[in-house]
Amino acid sequence: MTTTETDQADETAEAAPSASAPHSPPGPHGYSDHKDAHLKRLRRIEGQIRGLQRMVEEDVYCIDVLTQVSASTKGLQSFALQLLEEHLRHCVAAAAAEGGPQIDDKVAEATAAIARLLRT
């Protein structure tokens, strides 16, 4: 593995929370009903990223590469917003229906997620 690949793997590991994160309740998540569509969308984004790699390997004009970066970024942002909407409709709404302190936790969790999205 090259230094760049190692750096990228480290960045990916830092960016991705573990599957056993303490705030991940067991059971179906808000996105579960649309899992196949989400996976299809992520595969399309993955293809865009691979296209970026090919463009760099082939020394494509920098503005054309930046255009592809923008398209890939928009794809990820759109995916994130859809996931956030499903979280609000499913997880936050369920906590609101149950009442108690859980709703405050879910709202804080959603607010933190929105803040992370705004920083990108």
Residues 112-118 have a mean pLDDT of: 92
Tens digit of pLDDT for each residue in 88-109?
999 899 899 988 888 999 999 9
**CATH 1.20.58.1000 corresponds to the domain 33-119:** yes
The pTM score is 0.69
What is the DSSP secondary-structure string of 2-48? -HHHHHHHHHHHHHSPPTT-TT--SS--TTGGGHHHHHHHHHHHHHH
What are the extents of the domains in the chain? 33-119
Tell me what pLDDT residue 115 has.
Answer: 94
Tell me what pLDDT residue 9 has.
Answer: 45
